[in-house]
Amino acid sequence: MFDVCIIGAGGIVGCAIVRELAQQGFSVAGIEKHETACQETSGLNSRVVHSGFHEIFGTLKSALACEGSGLLIRYAEERSIRLLRTGMLIAIPHGSIRAGLWKEADALWRLWRQGRRQNIPFRFVLTPDGIRRLAPIQALGGIYIPSVCVIDLEQFVSSLEADAIAAGAQFLYNSEVTGIAAEASTFRVITSSGELRSRILVNSAGLHAHEISVMAGGPKYEIEFIRGDYYELAGGVKRWNVRTLVYPATPPRSPTKGIHFGPRTDGRLFLGPSASPKTETAPKELFLEAGRKFISSIRESDLEWAYAGIRPKRVSVDGRSDFTIGLDRTIPPLINLIGIDSPGLSASMAIARYVGQMVQKIP
Ligand SMILES: Cc1cc2nc3c(=O)[nH]c(=O)nc-3n(C[C@H](O)[C@H](O)[C@H](O)COP(=O)(O)OP(=O)(O)OC[C@H]3O[C@@H](n4cnc5c(N)ncnc54)[C@H](O)[C@@H]3O)c2cc1C
């Protein structure tokens, strides 16, 4: 019998929640179907600690990304977790002159307006020379956000898990939740490795959270799944000398932030992610084109497919996609986390706090 059971403890968000609640003094069980952490979305992303600049002001995503990125960076510094201080350059490529410049400039202007409302420090880069001082790319100008960085994901998650265990949490790996019964004031959670009881249930099951909600007697959510492929650039950061995250300018309501150059803490360099339906792999030409916009010397043979991750997105009627985090039933209490797509990694520690505050209020 536990105070709280978290389903999806192998994901970054689930793991951060287990830590938060254990540190608040609750008895906590973190359930995960895989053998180790980060086997699904949490291990298949860009590893960027976003500032919230791309998010729509007033959304939960924007608030939690702003708060969460600050918490995460401070935590990483305290624990000596590897952080690559890349900054983020959102740039307008040279080639856009031919296309009339209008689309990119408009997208950049909208992003600027949005970022400014969120008080995120940034600066304009107004000349190709200014751009080249940040990255060896061909671009006319852009916006540079210095606080954005790239994290060593594995170190981050194992540190969160160690904190949680030190605070008394139990992680149950290799335990797939196959059934949930609400019995009077508790949940009986049936897994592939046994059963447990819990007073409160937190559903942080990522791509499967909508299914777990129904299993636990919660609402039915409609989810859109967007696949993102990545290609690796041969020779990595050493060869291409791209040490800054380089993003195209995409309009604020686009489903993704666009295919970007992503240096990693291990010296590798990736192009991605694309945005396609769950079962479709994006064609290589798309990545070649996205890369050549900024570095024309990239050849097809420089790119090799690396991996793909899937974003669970909740799209509301007006096209805005926000995180949905709420107490969806009260007796016994069920907290659902639905549509935790990007920037869920960046927001993870703030999401955990947010859920912690909800749990504190449950009588
Ligand atoms: C292509 C891509 C790029 C991204 N880039 C970034 C980025 O640069 N920065 C950023 O901040 N965010 C990024 N994100 C978003 C980020 O990766 C996610 O928001 C985050 O990983 C979500 O974590 P999670 O713990 O909610 O979900 P998950 O990592 O999906 O974890 C859920 C866990 O639940 C477990 N589970 C599911 N069903 C069951 C069950 N029945 N029983 C037991 N366990 C179960 C799964 O095995 C899984 O381990 C990106 C996402 C994608 C797909």
Provide the residue type at 357 as one letter: Q
Q: How far does residue 14's CA lie from ligand 1's centre (Å)?
A: 9
Distance of CA 308 to the CA centre of its chain: 14
Beta carbon of 226 within 6 Å of any ligand 1 atom = no
Q: Whose CA is nearest to atom 15 of ligand 1?
A: 342
- Regarding the beta carbon of 273 and ligand 1, being less than 6 Å apart is answered yes
Place of tokens 């307008």: 92
Closest protein CA for atom 2 of ligand 1: 45
Ligand 1 pocket member 176 (CB < 6 A): yes
Residue 18 phi, psi dihedral angles, 5° rounding = -55, -45
φ, ψ for residue 319 (rounded to 5)? 85, -5
SS (H, E, C) the chain: CEEEEEECCCCHHHHHHHHHHHHCCCCEEEECCCCCCCCCHHHCCCCEECCCCCCCCCCHHHHHHHHHHHHHHHHHHHCCCCEECCCEEEEEEHHHHCCCCHHHHHHHHHHHHHHHHCCCCCEEECCHHHHHHHCCCCEEEEEEECCCEEECHHHHHHHHHHHHHHCCCEEECCCCEEEEEEECCEEEEEECCEEEEEEEEEECCHHHHHHHHHHCCCCCCCCEEEEEEEEEECCHHHHHCCCCEEEECCCCCCCCCCCEEEECCCCCEEEECCCEECCCCCCHHHHHHHHHCCCCCCCHHHEEEEEEEEEEECECCCCCECCEEEEEECCCCEEEEECCCCCHHHHHHHHHHHHHHHHHHCC
Residue nearest to atom 25 of ligand 1 (CA): 11
Q: Evaluate: CB of 246 within 6 angstroms of ligand 1.
A: no
Distance 31 CA to ligand 1 centre (A): 14
Atom of ligand 1 nearest to the CA of 205: 34
Vertex 353 angle, CA 167 and 58, to 5°: 170
Rounded to whole angstroms, how far apart are CA atoms 329 and 197? Answer: 17
Ligand 1 in reach of 93 Cβ (< 6 A): no
- With CA atoms as reference, report the closest residue to 338 among 217, 179, 203: 203
Whole-angstrom distance, CA of residue 262 vs CA of residue 19:
29
CA of 353 to the centre of ligand 1 (A): 18
Smallest CA separation from ligand 1 atom 33, residue: 8
Name the residue of 18, 34, 46, 355 to mutate for ligand 1: max ligand atoms within 8 A of Cβ. Answer: 46
The ligand 1 atom nearest the CA atom of 176 = 42
Amino acid letter, 315: V
Encode the chain (363 residues) as per-residue pLDDT tens digits: 999 999 999 999 999 999 999 999 999 999 999 999 999 999 999 999 999 988 888 899 999 999 999 999 999 999 999 999 999 999 998 876 665 566 777 888 888 887 788 889 999 999 999 999 999 999 999 999 999 999 999 999 999 999 999 999 999 999 999 999 999 899 999 999 999 999 999 999 999 999 999 999 999 999 999 999 999 999 999 999 999 999 998 876 677 889 999 999 999 999 999 999 888 889 999 999 999 999 999 999 999 999 999 999 987 766 678 999 999 999 999 999 999 999 999 999 999 999 999 999 999
User: Of 31, 42, 48, which is best to mutate to test ligand 1, by the most ligand atoms within 8 angstroms of its C-beta?
Assistant: 42
The reported pLDDT for the residue numbered 317 is: 63
**CA 339, CA 276: separation in Å to the nearest integer?**
17
Tokens of 262: 């992503």
- Which residue has a Cα nearest atom 14 of ligand 1? 342
344 Cα to the center of ligand 1, angstroms = 8
Q: Which atom of ligand 1 is nearest to the CA of 228?
A: 1
Atom of ligand 1 nearest to the CA of 340: 19
Predicted local distance difference test score (pLDDT) of residue 111: 84
The alpha carbon of 12 and the centre of ligand 1 are apart by a number of angstroms equal to 7
| Amino acid 108: pLDDT | 85
Whole-prediction pTM: 0.96
Q: Does the CB atom of residue 260 touch ligand 1 within 6 A?
A: no
Q: Which domains does the chain have, with CATH numbers?
A: 2-67+153-222+319-361 (3.50.50.60), 88-146+224-313 (3.30.9.10)
**Do the Cβ atoms of 300 and 184 come closer than 8 Å?**
no
Pocket of ligand 1 contains residue 229 by CB under 6 Å: no
Q: Could you give the CA distance from residue 60 to residue 67 in angstroms, rounded to a whole number?
A: 11
- Answer yes or no: are the C-beta atoms of 149 and 73 closer than 8 Å: yes
Strand 334-338 to strand 324-329: parallel, antiparallel, or no bridges (unpaired)?
Answer: antiparallel
